[in-house]
Amino acid sequence: MREMAGLPSALWKYTNIQLTTASGPTGRPPSTATAAPGAGTRRRHPVPVLLTFALINRPDIFDLRPGNSFVEFLLDEGYDVFLVDWGYADEEDAETGLDDFALEHIPRAVREVRRASGAEEITLIGWCIGAVLTGMYLSVTLDAPVRNWIPLTMPFDAANTTCESLLGNDEVDTDWLGQYGAFLPGSYVDTVNKLLKPAPNYVGTPLRLFRQVQDGTADRSSYQPMARWVADTPNFPMRAFRQWVTWVYKENRLARGRVRLRGQKVDFAASRQSILVVTADSAGPFGVAAPRLRTPE
């Protein structure tokens, strides 16, 4: 009876959390991070860090909110931090491919980090597709001014994964998609990702939040930034999407060593950096696995 009496209030609070957004900045924005070298007091490590995220979500996850920010942590540890922001793709980006990201945009970002920090070498961190793109860049740019490479949960071997069964079959005609769209809408990407685990995404998360509202443990400041990040899915440039689906899920070229960018073979084992591979315990739906790498000589 008590729960029934409190139901209208709980529903109001739940709806308020779901339909409103947190105000103010989240964490320390990258613009503040890039200004850290000028202060001259917090910088304790000479090698700056460049963060590179995936193409299907925003890099805000690196700097989600105060107290829950990888950027904040690195700054406190004395590193200069820089962030690649891919922006939001539109019709003008239809012909932007993985080779453009790996061989033009990332080198440009690396040059900017070196210019702004004054460092000769950097540490390059890539997450998800960002790990693949940074790996591609390093494998074909053997003189890259990068001392350390850290790929986080990098999709590598897609064999027998959920995404291979969904996107690697003949019914997914990427050539046909390329004729009718400049990009894959972010809303579509978001829906497909959620349908990989429909019960937790569409039932479990909302139900858990409602129960937390009922028992008074709901944390608006924690829930809203993450919910906002999950829902903010940029468009996927069509050429890059077609390449990704074909190379990773249809033909599994990464694991087979058959990817070439502008005539150059992508061989992660050719990278000369110190490497720390961070991966999951299982392959998961996207084929996350540690690539085969040899220790630099």
pLDDT in tens, 229-253: 888 899 999 999 999 999 999 999 9
pLDDT reported for residue 282 = 54
CATH class of 2-275: alpha beta
Distance from C-alpha of 28 to C-alpha of 67, rounded to nearest angstrom? 10
Instruction: Assess whether pLDDT exceeds 50 at residue 135.
Output: yes
- CA-to-CA dists, residue 277 to 62, 127, 153, 200, angstroms: 18, 11, 8, 28
Mean pLDDT over residues 28-44, rounded? Answer: 44
Burial of 37 from C-beta contacts in 10 A (0-12 / 13-18 / 19+): middle
Contact indicator for 189, 230 with CB cutoff of 8 Å? no
Return the C-alpha torsion angle 154, 181, 230, 195, nearest 10: -80
pLDDT reported for residue 114 = 93
Distance from C-alpha of 109 to C-alpha of 77, rounded to nearest angstrom? 22
User: Model confidence at 33, in pLDDT bands (50, 70, 90)?
Assistant: very low
Mean pLDDT over residues 134-143, rounded? Answer: 95
User: Model confidence at 36, in pLDDT bands (50, 70, 90)?
Assistant: very low
Residues β-bridged to residue 82 = 50
pLDDT reported for residue 2 = 54
pLDDT reported for residue 4 = 56
User: Model confidence at 289, in pLDDT bands (50, 70, 90)?
Assistant: low
pLDDT reported for residue 290 = 53
Which comes out higher in pLDDT, residue 295 or 239?
239
Q: Across all residues in the chain, what is the average pLDDT?
A: 81
* The two three-digit tokens of residue 24, written as one number: 């103010």
* Model pLDDT for residues 90-112, shown as the tens digit of each residue: 999 999 999 999 999 999 999 99
- CA-to-CA dists, residue 94 to 130, 153, 177, 180, 182, angstroms: 19, 27, 11, 11, 4
Which comes out higher in pLDDT, residue 294 or 7?
7
Instruction: Assess whether pLDDT exceeds 70 at residue 291.
Output: no
pLDDT reported for residue 133 = 96
Contact indicator for 137, 103 with CB cutoff of 8 Å? yes
- Residue corresponding to tokens 């739940």: 14
pLDDT reported for residue 40 = 41
Q: Which of 51, 57, 46 is nearest to 28 (CA)?
A: 51
User: Model confidence at 120, in pLDDT bands (50, 70, 90)?
Assistant: very high
Mean pLDDT over residues 12-26, rounded? Answer: 59
- CA-to-CA dists, residue 36 to 109, 116, 125, 130, angstroms: 17, 10, 19, 24
